[in-house]
Amino acid sequence: MGSGAGLGRVFTQHMEQGDRRCCNYKLFDCSSNRKDDVMAIFSIKFNFISGKGPYVDLYGRCTTGGGFTIHGNEDDYFYECIDAGNYPNLRRLSFKKEELYTVIGTA
């Protein structure tokens, strides 16, 4: 899983089911201004044990000071972002990165 945290910054991690990772917003690799309210775009790739996938270029978004969690199984999955203000949002992963920029109103 990787997060483009503005200005081309990228935090890349391989994660197995149940794994947890942190990219501290106080680091420039994780937040373009080292604040907890920067919108980050996450690029997700799944490789399921059953051989389904890999599904590539699925995207989600969350603030750098928030938590990003993927729920579900290989047939039905979604993500939850608990943003820096502790407000939860459940969303489907998007196949188009541009849709996420439209939603948050940036180009």
Distance between CA atoms of 97 and 71, rounded to whole angstroms? 20
Q: Which one, of 49, 91, 57, lies nearest residue 74 by Cα?
A: 49
| pLDDT tens sequence across 52-86 | 766 667 888 888 888 888 888 888 888 888 888 88
- Helices and strands counted in the chain (H then E): 1, 7
| pLDDT tens sequence across 16-51 | 888 888 888 888 777 878 888 888 888 888 777 787
pLDDT of residue 65: 87
Distances (CA, A) of 93 to 26, 40, 44, 70, 99: 26, 14, 8, 9, 10
Q: Which one, of 56, 102, 104, lies nearest residue 81 by Cα?
A: 104
